[in-house]
Amino acid sequence: MEKITVTQEKLNELFELAMKASEFSYSPYSKFPVGAAILTSDGRIFTGCNVENRSFGLTNCAERTAMFKAVSEGAKRILALAIATPKSDYPVGPCGACRQVMTEFGDNDVPVIFGCSNANLTKATLGELYPFDSLHELAD
C-alpha cells in the first residue's frame, strides 16, 4: 500500500469536511455544533458530529463519533484529524476524553487542525495535545 502524505491541502480538505459534518450536529442543549473529520492510514475519511442527550453524560463528541465510525469500519490508525466549531469565536480544542481516544489510534506526530473558520485555525499534534500519555505501555 502506498504511504499517504498529510499535506496542508489535505488538512484543509479535512477541515471543510468537519465544517460540513457540524451541520448534522444534534446539540439542542448547548447550541454548540461540532464536526470532525479523520483521515485513516488506508486513505479513507470518516466524519462525525456531536450528539447530545438530556442526560449530558451520555453525549458523544464529534471526534469520538468519527473515530468510532472509523474503527467500526476496520480502520484503526489515524493520520490526521480536523475539528470544526463554527459557532465559537476562537479555535476550541478537543476535550480530554477525545484526546485519550485519539491517542489510542494515532501516533504523537498526527496533525490535528481545529478552528471556527478557515481564517481562525490552530494546528497541533496529538503529542502536543496530550503530552504525557502513559497508557501506551498497556498495548505491549
Active-site residues, by number, are 63
Q: What is the DSSP string of 64-76?
A: HHHHHHHHHTT--
- Bridge partners, residue 83, by sequence: 36, 114
Identify which of 57, 62, 66 has the alpha carbon closest to the alpha carbon of residue 87: 62
Cβ within 8 Å of residue 131, ≥6 positions away:
none
Identify which of 103, 106, 126, 105 has the alpha carbon closest to the alpha carbon of residue 114: 126
